[in-house]
Structure 1
Amino acid sequence: MAWSYGYFTDLNYTHGYYPEMNPAMLRLACLCNAVEPQLPDAPSYLELGFGQGVTINMLAAASSGTYWGTDFNPAQTVEARKLADASRADIHLYDDSFEEFANRRDLPDFDVIALHGIWSWISENNRKIITDIIRRKLRPGGVAYISYNCLPGWAPVVPIRQLMSLYQDYGGGKMSRPIEMIEGAVQFAEEIAKAGSYYFRDNPFARHHLEHMGKQGRNYLGHEYMNAVWHLEHFSDMARSLDEAKLTYVGSARLLDGIDAFQLNEEGTRFVSQIGHPIMRETVRDFLVNRRFRTDIFAKGARPLPGREHRDAWCALAFVLVVPEIDVPKKIMCARGEVALPADKYDLILEALADDGYRPKRVEELLKHDKLRKLKPQDIVDLLTVLTGAGFAAPAQGPSETVSEQCRALNRHILQRALVSMDLHHMVSPVTGGGIGLNHMTQLFVLATTAGKEGAEALANYVWDFLDSTGERLVRDGNKIEAKDENLKEIRILARKFVKFGRPLLQALQIIDAPEGGGWSNEAKR
């Protein structure tokens, strides 16, 4: 068989960053499930199948730990190593197959073994090899993060994948270039739907899914649907398959997935509360929300935290906002639909977190904060959990100078890349230990700031000069804005917002250098 083992390699994978893989988020997820987070501050971390290497490189740059990874696609390994060369973090990247990697003699024992999505796209033999790596190389107390496509959510659209695979093998796919083949496969499925297919008539979700596919990136579709293997399983199957690796299920790395109030209606919550066995309960929850993707954390030697230790562990944590206070919505979308964030509580915690220039704050400090005195300690813990799970806040750390310099070096590389590409949508923060989502316009404002531009007008002019030099224009309501004055008008609006709200936050996150005397003090770090 070819070196790809049936894995789709004609197009490179997307440049995604996955915050739930951050060791700080894994620790928090353990804590949210009352399990002791036994991860050291400088973890030994392994990612299997790192794709473009965005996540592993940002985590390595923002950590004093040691990071290892393999992805058997050499083109992706080359790209990942460019990021590693920029940060000069302690990171080791290979293009070994999983079998080759498993046989390396220089591997340490790992505190974290993580794999995002690939479990669903690899052969049974490779899944066994990964399970064996976890069994042999995950140290006692370590955690495994495995995200994967799951049932029952994917069940209605399995036939769509089969149609696309058939087109790839027997239709026009063999004679087409990769993008053309994917376009043709999607169009082939759409033509079947338009031809009066009873399958699409009787399965409205499948029809909706097909329409959504037409808007998705072709690189993603190629990796999702065009592999020789497309493995779907229930959570109970996954838990059973990891028994031999001595792993115990802890919870979801996506914190909101574990909160019934955000996932289930009242009847579902009552029903689930009557189920005692954790594997059965979690599988039933998947049916109630029709889950199609899971982000599971398993631990080797999970230790439940007694009440006092649990409280102390929470009090020792620090948190920081990762979006400006004004950008936090009043409602968020969850499995049960739109859920309101009550202003009488969330506005208070947001104001407290935004105080003092967004400085990170320990839970112990927040419990004593003047604005939060009316809230119970558990209320504050719950609010922080929701804000973090929704992506508005993150656990914070006091970075060393080495970590800070690694992050600065990687961010310089990302900013230079922003001049020629829009494929990276994050910059790295030494305060959160990982990536922070920043769109291309914001990256250009950061670049202008590093070039010494300060006011909104100077930032806007810098960005316009860059866009004009490359022939780029802003887009409004789907239409390109051609006139210079109209472009500048839109850019100025964005620049004023950045100066007032975005820049102070990025200074707190140490993505932009803070004014003299700013930042998180050494005393606060302790």
Structure 2
Amino acid sequence: MAWSYGYFTELNYTHGYYPEMNPAMLRLACLCNAVEPQLPDAPSYLELGFGQGVTINMLAAASSGSYWGADFNPAQTVEARKLADASRADIRLFDDSFEEFASRKDLPDFDVIALHGIWSWISEKNRKIITDIIRRKLRPGGIAYISYNCLPGWAPVIPIRQLMSLYQDYGGGKMSRPIEMIEGAVQFAGEIAKAGSFYFRDNPFARHHLDQLTKQGRNYLAHEYMNADWHLEHFSDMVRSLDDAKLTYVGSARLLDGIDAFQLNEEGIKFVSQIGHPIMRETVRDYLVNRRFRTDIFVKGPQMLPGREHRDAWHALTFVLTTPSIDIPKKISCGRGEVELPAEKYDLILEVLSDDDYRPKRVKELLKHDKLRKLKPQDVVDYLTILTGAGFAAPAQIPSEKVKEQCRALNRHILQRALVSMDLHHMVSPVTGGGIGLTHMTQLFVLASSEGKASAAALVSYVWDFLDSLDERLVRDGKKIESKDENLKEIRASANKFRKFGRPLLEALQIIESPSAGDSSMAAAE
């Protein structure tokens, strides 16, 4: 068999960043489930199947830990090493197969072993190799993070994937270039649906899913659907498969997934509350929400936190907003749709977190704040969990000078890359220990700011000159804006919003140097 073992390598994987893989988020997820997060401040971290290496590089740059990664695709390893060379963080990246990596003699014991999605796309042999790596090299108390496609949510889509795979093998796909093959496979499945297929008639979700495929990026479709191996399993099967690695399920890395009020209706909440066994309960929850993707955290030897220690661990945490308060919605999107949070609590917490130009704040400080004194301590904890789970806040740390320099170096690389590419949608924060999502225009504003262009007029001129030099224009509602005046109007509105709301937040996150740079903001949270 070829070195790729049936994994689709003709098109590059997407440049995604996955915040739930951040050690700070893994610690918080454990804490949300009353499990002691046994991760040191400088963890030894392994990612198996790192793709383009965006996540592992951002975590390594923003952490005092040691990071290792294996991805057998040499083209992706080259790309990942460019980011590593920029930050000069403590990171080792190998283009080994999992079998080759498992046989290395220089591997340390790891505090975290993480794999995003790859479990669904590899052979049974490789899944057993990964399980063996976890069994041998994850230290007692360590965390395994495994995200994967799951049942029952994917069940209606299995025949669509089969049709696309058949086209690849027998329908002319082998003679086509990669993009043409993907286009042909999607079109082939669509033609079957249009030909009066009873399958698509009787399974409206499958037809809806097929329609959505036409709108998704072809690189994503290639890696999601066109691998030789495509493994789907129920949560309970995943738990059994990891028994040999001595792992115990703790909870989801996506915090909102673990809150029944955000996932289930009243009948579902009542039904689940009657199920005693945790594996059965979690499997039933998957059926109630028709879950398609899981982000599971397992621990080798979890220790439950007694009530007082659990409370003290929460009070010691520090949080920071990661989204300007003006952009945080009043309704939170979740499994059951949208949940509107009570303004008398939610708005107050947002207001306090925004105080002092978004300065990070310790939970203990929040509980004593005059505006929040009337709230119960559990209310504050609950809303911080919700804000973090929704991606609007994050745990914060006091970064070392080395970490801050690593982040500055990686961000300089990302900003220069923004002049020629739009593939990286995050910059790295030494305060959160990971990536922060930023639009391409915001990255250009940050780049202009780094060159001393602070006024709105200067920011607008910088972005317009960039667009005009490439003969590009902004897009609104899916349509290109041709008029120069309309482009300038859009850029000006974004620039004013950036100066008023975006820049103060990015200074608090230390993505932009603030006029009073230093640790004083974090020290105030002590």
Q: Give me the TM-score of the superposition, normalised by structure 1.
A: 0.99
How far is the alpha carbon of 1:520 from its aligned partner?
4.4
| 1:244 partner letter | D
Aligned residue for 1:324?
324
Report the 3-state secondary structure (helix = DSSP H, G, I; strand = E; otherwise coil) of the residue aligned with 2:196.
Answer: coil
Aligned residue for 2:400?
400
Aligned residue for 2:511?
511
Aligned residue for 1:268?
268
How far is the alpha carbon of 1:370 from its aligned partner?
1.1
| 1:146 partner letter | I
Aligned residue for 2:307?
307
Report the 3-state secondary structure (helix = DSSP H, G, I; strand = E; otherwise coil) of the residue aligned with 1:406.
Answer: helix
Q: Structure 1 140/495 Cα, relative in aligned 2: closer, same or farther at 3 Å? A: same
Query: Does structure 1 retain, via aligned residues, the 8 Å contact 2:318–2:525?
Result: no
In the alignment, structure 2 segments of 5+ residues that lack a partner are none
| 1:175 partner letter | M
> How big is each residue's C-alpha offset from its partner over 1:335-374, in whole Å with a ceiling of 9 and x where there is no partner?
1111112211110000000000100000000000111111
Matches within 5 A, 1:79-478: 79-478=79-478
Query: Does structure 2 retain, via aligned residues, the 8 Å contact 1:255–1:386?
Result: yes
| 1:98 partner letter | F
Aligned residue for 2:497?
497
Aligned residue for 2:5?
5
Query: Does structure 2 retain, via aligned residues, the 8 Å contact 1:146–1:295?
Result: yes
Aligned residue for 2:55?
55
1:484 corresponds to 2:484: yes
| 2:487 partner letter | N
Report the 3-state secondary structure (helix = DSSP H, G, I; strand = E; otherwise coil) of the residue aligned with 2:105.
Answer: coil
**Number of aligned positions between the proteins:** 526
| 1:74 partner letter | P
Distance 1:19 1:289 in 2: 23
| 2:41 partner letter | D
How far is the alpha carbon of 1:525 from its aligned partner?
6.4
Query: Does structure 2 retain, via aligned residues, the 8 Å contact 1:249–1:297?
Result: yes
How far is the alpha carbon of 1:517 from its aligned partner?
5.3
Distance 1:295 1:523 in 2: 34
| 1:121 partner letter | W
Q: Structure 1 222/200 Cα, relative in aligned 2: closer, same or farther at 3 Å? A: same
Distance 2:460 2:28 in 1: 39
Distance 2:29 2:365 in 1: 21
Query: Does structure 2 retain, via aligned residues, the 8 Å contact 1:359–1:520?
Result: no
Distance 2:123 2:204 in 1: 31
How far is the alpha carbon of 1:242 from its aligned partner?
0.7
Query: Does structure 2 retain, via aligned residues, the 8 Å contact 1:397–1:525?
Result: no
Aligned residue for 2:78?
78
Identity %: 86
Q: How well do the aligned residues superpose, as a CA RMSD in angstroms?
A: 0.9
How far is the alpha carbon of 1:478 from its aligned partner?
2.2
> How big is each residue's C-alpha offset from its partner over 1:245-290, in whole Å with a ceiling of 9 and x where there is no partner?
1100000000000000000011110110111110010000000000
Report the 3-state secondary structure (helix = DSSP H, G, I; strand = E; otherwise coil) of the residue aligned with 1:114.
Answer: strand
Query: Does structure 1 retain, via aligned residues, the 8 Å contact 2:359–2:521?
Result: no
Distance 1:230 1:136 in 2: 26
Query: Does structure 1 retain, via aligned residues, the 8 Å contact 2:365–2:525?
Result: no
Query: Does structure 2 retain, via aligned residues, the 8 Å contact 1:398–1:520?
Result: no
In the alignment, structure 1 segments of 5+ residues that lack a partner are none
Distance 1:476 1:520 in 2: 41
Query: Does structure 1 retain, via aligned residues, the 8 Å contact 2:359–2:522?
Result: no
How far is the alpha carbon of 1:386 from its aligned partner?
0.3
Distance 1:280 1:474 in 2: 50
Q: Structure 1 522/263 Cα, relative in aligned 2: closer, same or farther at 3 Å? A: closer
Q: Which runs of 4+ in 1 moved over 4 A?
A: 517-520
Query: Does structure 2 retain, via aligned residues, the 8 Å contact 1:360–1:520?
Result: no
| 1:144 partner letter | A
